[in-house]
């Protein structure tokens, strides 16, 4: 096994700004992410899956335990751990091209190389013709692809994705899933060649379809319930509506079901 | 075509009311009629008016630029250092109720009667709304955007310049529009009470010689200039903020 | 953002400490250059302030100014609110008169001083004109906005129930507009306060040295500047003006929260 991220006895406690109460978002997380794997993270509301992702991204530090990236503790975000946010977080004042070139620009890559890279990425995500549009002029699916291209511009070793397909309609989601797999290198080459993906989602079928392993979290406090191996052959696109995916989906749902119901009942009004 | 019609009616009514008032007063010095004011304008245009307008514009630009620059810098520092913010916030709150007008006598003391007074007043008038608006904008920047920048490899400087600053621009413009109105009033007051050049000062000058038609003409010019300044700022805002979705007002 | 949070105690003490240090430095600088009396100093300001308050000079001047502010404010409201409501409810009026009103609004109120002096004399009414002029526009703007925001359907419902136009105004339009009118009033009062100072300063300059009795704080400031040359008093007046501004606005805000607890802008 080739570890890229190690979570050792990780815990995260938040202090609620509203009433000063301490909320234990994560507790006792011991887990190792393998290089080149596609890991999905599922769980009911409040299980801390977004928190987990933000720890790996480096936006927060754990309250206890260590989070290591390639053997070293994570202290800050970095371009080698690219992030895709739930609401895309595109810079509204930059065009599509402007957003995509942000990473290389920030890292000091020269203009010629940057331009070339941006052009290739725009081609790859299918946004040709929209380079000079602003985010508010784009549809959800287009913004998604722009956000993906922006992350890929830095050629990151890890792709950290927080419910990236939550806000698009079902048809677009299926198309984007296929594109995502393709860009990741589904079924091509070996694990060493591919980026490592950590993909947080609410959609269990999506989680099972895309992943090598599914990390199932429980809530209150967020902890690892189980790790489900998805030993299905790749490429996965053909298996989308097949029996194996359905069986595994049911298996994972079984694990989450009770707590999911609990979560709905406890949902506080916004 | 109809859209142009109604405003014209309104303007016509106003002019008619003015003309009636002038006739009723019967005294061209007391209430100059529209015609005499127009003649005065034409006469002024050939002589002092361009110079006066230029002087006022210089006062405004110099004072406003200085005030805005300082306001931006202070807000940036306050935005990144909580200690600095803790110190400067109360000072800003303390000075804010003291309108620029109240500073006039002290300004005359400091700078003597002359251009320094209006420039200082405008500087002061521009400083606070821009400082407060910018700082407010900085504090309200979506942290997700900042995180996105960090995850893309941006250094602190890059974050400040290429993420926080553009995200703050809408608030900066809001502060700028607000402060322009106050600054304009400060300009006129400063020139009238303590200046030696500019259109405000010229109003007093004409009054000394009881050229009330010119006084009224100059008053109208003051209004026109104020309107022009705000329109320009609005146009600039629309251009710079063209990335905002239509619902987020650039009004 | 820098790491540590600034504690609540520090939040109060730190600016206080900085202020004290600045005052101390300022005081020392003035004394060392022997400019006490030529330049304002903290102790000088306090001294002057004490004298002026106890002798009633400032109270008298302030009451003169405030009186005119309130009258001007009332005139502004009396003229501005009906105009604004009319414009807000009848779109044709809005389209016709908006340009004229915007133009007039752009004229800084103080610019009218020479005409006001001519029409109303120097004694105080000229300043009143400027104040009223400054106060009327915020009322117009906010009243028209408020009228436009009042739900058209409520008006239609009232009329369907047989309410005549005056009743509609009284029972639907006015109550719905009150929060925005309050905001307009706050702005108008702030403008009025700033304008009275400016107007009194301008008038004061005109009559400086003529030995006339002082009618307001602006004129008091001019007299102090040119005749008595008391620099410390000037700073004191500024602080008082600021304090009054603050109290007026804070007072109105509190009133708004008390009268209309559901609105707070």
Q: ipTM of this predicted complex?
A: 0.85
Each residue's pLDDT tens digit, B71-91: 999 998 888 788 888 888 878
CA distance linking residue B152 with residue A142, whole number of Å: 20
Give all chains having 3 or more CB-to-CB distances under 8 Å with chain B: A, C
**Total domain count, chain A:** 1
Residue B145 belongs to a domain with what CATH number? Answer: 1.10.3720.10
Is A40 within 8 Å of A22 (Cβ atoms)?
Answer: no
Q: Does residue A117 sit within a domain?
A: no
**Total domain count, chain B:** 1
CA distance linking residue C193 with residue B97, whole number of Å: 11
Which residue of chain C has the CA closest to B90? C15
Q: Classify the C-alpha dihedral A153-A157-A160-A161 as positive or negative.
A: positive
Mean pLDDT, range B124-136, rounded to an integer: 90
Q: Does residue B131 sit within a domain?
A: yes
Beta bridge partners of A229: A213
Touch of A by B (3+ CB pairs closer than 8 Å): yes
Q: Does residue A193 sit within a domain?
A: no
Q: Does residue B250 sit within a domain?
A: no
Domain membership of residue A214 as a residue range: 3-80+160-166+201-266
Domain membership of residue B189 as a residue range: 33-240
CA distance linking residue A156 with residue A196, whole number of Å: 9
- Give the model's pLDDT for residue C262: 61
Mean pLDDT, range B94-98, rounded to an integer: 83
- Give the model's pLDDT for residue C37: 67
Structure tokens at C88: 């807000």
Each residue's pLDDT tens digit, B170-179: 888 888 888 8
The mean-pLDDT minimum among A232-236, C3-7, C185-189, C215-219 falls in C3-7
Q: Classify the C-alpha dihedral A95-A98-A102-A104 as positive or negative.
A: positive
- Give the model's pLDDT for residue B212: 84
Whether residues A79 and B151 touch (CB distance < 8 A) is answered with yes
Q: Does residue A88 sit within a domain?
A: no
CA distance linking residue A207 with residue A230, whole number of Å: 10
CA distance linking residue C240 with residue C219, whole number of Å: 15
Phi-psi region of A108 (alpha: psi -120 to 50; beta: other; left: phi over 0): left
3-state helix, strand, coil in chain A (%, to 5): 40, 25, 35
- In chain C, residues with a C-beta closer than 8 Å to the C-beta of B215 are 114-115
Whether residues B101 and C119 touch (CB distance < 8 A) is answered with no
Q: Does residue B106 sit within a domain?
A: yes
Position B249 pLDDT exceeds 80: no
Give the closest-approach CA distance of A69 to chain B in angstroms: 14
Optimal mutation site among A88, A106, A132, interface B, most CBs of chain B within 10 A: A106
Residue A259 belongs to a domain with what CATH number? Answer: 3.40.50.300
Each residue's pLDDT tens digit, C78-132: 999 889 888 888 888 888 888 888 888 888 898 888 888 888 877 668 888 999 9
Whether residues A134 and B242 touch (CB distance < 8 A) is answered with yes
Whether residues A93 and B154 touch (CB distance < 8 A) is answered with no
Each residue's pLDDT tens digit, C219-261: 888 888 887 777 888 888 888 888 888 888 888 888 888 877 6
Position B231 pLDDT exceeds 80: yes
Give the closest-approach CA distance of A192 to chain B in angstroms: 23
Q: Give domain limits for chain C.
A: 45-259
CA distance linking residue B224 with residue A138, whole number of Å: 40
Q: Helix (H, G, I), strand (E, B), or coil: what is residue A22? A: strand
Q: Does residue B249 sit within a domain?
A: no
Which residue of chain C has the CA closest to B9? C96
Position C3 pLDDT exceeds 70: no
- The rounded mean pLDDT for chain B is 85
C159 CB neighbour count, 10 Å cutoff:
14
Most confident of B33-47, B132-146, C26-40: B132-146
Q: Does residue B20 sit within a domain?
A: no
**H helix runs in A60-216, sequence order:** 96-100, 102-106, 111-125, 140-152, 170-184, 204-210
Position B251 pLDDT exceeds 70: no
Q: CB distance from B239 to chain A under 8 Å?
A: no
The residues near A91 (Cβ < 8 Å, ≥ 6 apart) are A98, A99, A102, A135, B145, B148, B149, B163, B166, B167
Interface of B with C in 127-166 (CB under 8 A): none
Each residue's pLDDT tens digit, C143-182: 888 887 776 777 788 888 887 878 877 777 777 778 788 8
Whether residues C2 and B81 touch (CB distance < 8 A) is answered with yes
Q: How many CA atoms lie within 13 A of B125 on its CB side?
A: 33
Is C111 within 8 Å of C51 (Cβ atoms)?
Answer: no
- Give the model's pLDDT for residue A201: 93
Q: CB distance from B209 to chain C under 8 Å?
A: no
Q: pTM of this prediction?
A: 0.79
- Give the model's pLDDT for residue A147: 93
Q: CB distance from C98 to chain B under 8 Å?
A: yes
Q: Does residue B198 sit within a domain?
A: yes
Q: What average pLDDT values come out for chain A (270 residues) when binned by 10 residues?
A: 83 80 86 92 86 91 90 90 89 93 90 91 89 90 90 92 87 88 82 87 91 89 87 86 90 87 72
CA distance linking residue B188 with residue B182, whole number of Å: 10
Q: Does residue B206 sit within a domain?
A: yes
Q: Between helices B116-139 and B49-80, what is the axis angle to 10°? A: 40
- What is the second-level CATH architecture of the domain C45-259? Orthogonal Bundle (1.10)
Q: CB distance from C145 to chain B under 8 Å?
A: no
């Amino acid at each position: 096994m080739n570890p890229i991220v190690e979570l050792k006895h990780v815990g995260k406690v938040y202090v609620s700004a509203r009433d000063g109460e301490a909320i234990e978002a994560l507790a006792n997380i011991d887990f190792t992410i393998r290089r080149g794997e596609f890991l999905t993270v599922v769980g009911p509301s409040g299980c801390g899956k977004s928190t987990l992702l933000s720890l790996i991204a480096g936006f927060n530090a754990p309250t206890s335990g260590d989070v290591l990236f390639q053997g070293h503790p994570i202290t800050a975000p970095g371009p080698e751990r690219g992030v895709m946010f739930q609401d895309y977080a595109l810079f509204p004042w930059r065009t599509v091209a402007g957003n995509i070139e942000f990473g290389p620009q920030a890292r000091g890559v020269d203009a010629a190389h940057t331009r070339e890279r941006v052009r290739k990425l725009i081609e790859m995500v299918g946004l040709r013709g929209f380079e000079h549009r602003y985010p508010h002029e784009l549809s959800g699916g287009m913004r998604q692809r722009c956000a993906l291209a922006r992350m890929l511009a830095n050629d990151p070793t890890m792709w950290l994705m927080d419910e990236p397909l939550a806000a698009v309609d079902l048809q677009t989601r299926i198309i984007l899933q296929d594109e995502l797999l393709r860009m990741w290198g589904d079924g091509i080459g070996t694990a060493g060649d591919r980026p490592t993906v950590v993909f947080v989602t609410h959609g269990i079928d999506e989680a099972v379809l895309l992943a090598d392993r599914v990390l199932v979290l429980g809530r209150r406090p967020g902890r690892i319930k189980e790790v489900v191996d998805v030993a299905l052959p790749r490429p996965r696109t053909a298996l989308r509506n097949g029996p194996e995916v359905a069986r595994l989906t049911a298996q994972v749902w079984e694990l989450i079901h009770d707590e999911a119901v609990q979560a709905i009942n406890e949902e506080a009004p916004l | 075509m109809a859209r142009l019609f109604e405003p014209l009616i309104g303007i016509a009514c106003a002019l008619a009311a003015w003309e009636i008032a002038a006739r009723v007063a019967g005294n061209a010095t007391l209430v100059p009629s529209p015609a005499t004011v127009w003649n005065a304008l034409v006469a002024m245009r050939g002589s002092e008016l361009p110079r006066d307008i230029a002087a006022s514009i210089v006062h405004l630009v110099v004072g406003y630029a200085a005030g805005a620059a300082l306001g931006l810098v202070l807000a940036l520092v306050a935005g990144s250092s909580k200690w600095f913010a803790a110190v400067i916030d109360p000072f800003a709150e303390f000075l804010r109720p003291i309108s620029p007008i109240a500073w006039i006598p002290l300004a005359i003391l400091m700078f003597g009667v002359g251009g320094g007074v209006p420039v200082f007043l405008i500087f002061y008038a521009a400083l606070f709304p821009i400082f407060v608006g910018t700082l407010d904008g900085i504090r309200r920047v979506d942290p997700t955007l900042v995180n996105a920048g960090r995850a893309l490899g941006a250094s602190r400087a890059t974050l400040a310049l290429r993420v926080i600053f553009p995200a703050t621009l809408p608030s900066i413009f809001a502060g700028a529009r607000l402060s322009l109105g106050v600054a304009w009033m400060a300009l006129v007051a400063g020139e009238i009470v303590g200046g030696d050049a500019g259109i405000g000062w010229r109003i007093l000058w004409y009054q000394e010689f009881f050229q009330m038609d010119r006084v009224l003409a100059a008053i109208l010019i003051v209004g026109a200039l104020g309107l022009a300044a705000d329109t320009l700022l609005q146009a600039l805002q629309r251009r710079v903020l063209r990335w905002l979705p239509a619902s987020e007002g650039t009004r | 953002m820098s790491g540590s949070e600034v504690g609540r105690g520090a939040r109060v003490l730190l600016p206080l400490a900085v202020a004290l240090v600045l005052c101390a430095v300022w005081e020392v600088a003035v004394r060392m250059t022997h400019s006490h009396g030529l330049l304002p100093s903290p102790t000088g300001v306090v001294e002057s302030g004490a004298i002026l308050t106890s002798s009633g000079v400032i109270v008298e001047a302030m009451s003169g100014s405030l009186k005119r502010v309130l009258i001007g404010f009332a005139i502004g409201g009396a003229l501005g609110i009906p105009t604004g409501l009319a414009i807000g409810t009848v779109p044709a009026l809005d389209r016709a008169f908006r340009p004229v009103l915007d133009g007039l609004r752009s004229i800084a109120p103080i610019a009218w001083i020479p005409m006001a002096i001519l029409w109303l004399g120097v004694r105080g009414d000229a300043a009143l004109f400027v104040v009223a002029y400054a106060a009327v526009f915020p009322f117009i703007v906010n009243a028209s906005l408020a009228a436009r925001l009042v739900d058209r359907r409520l008006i239609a419902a009232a009329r369907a129930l047989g309410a005549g136009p005056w009743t509609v105004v009284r029972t639907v339009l006015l109550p719905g507009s009150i929060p925005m009118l309050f905001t307009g009033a706050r702005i108008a009062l702030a403008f009025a306060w700033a304008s009275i100072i400016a107007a009194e300063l301008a008038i004061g300059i005109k009559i400086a040295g003529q030995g006339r009795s002082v009618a307001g704080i602006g004129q008091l400031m001019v007299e102090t500047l040119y005749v008595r040359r008391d620099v410390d008093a000037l700073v004191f007046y500024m602080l008082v003006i600021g304090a009054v501004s603050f109290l007026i606005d804070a007072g109105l805000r509190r009133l708004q929260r008390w009268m209309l607890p559901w609105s707070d802008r």
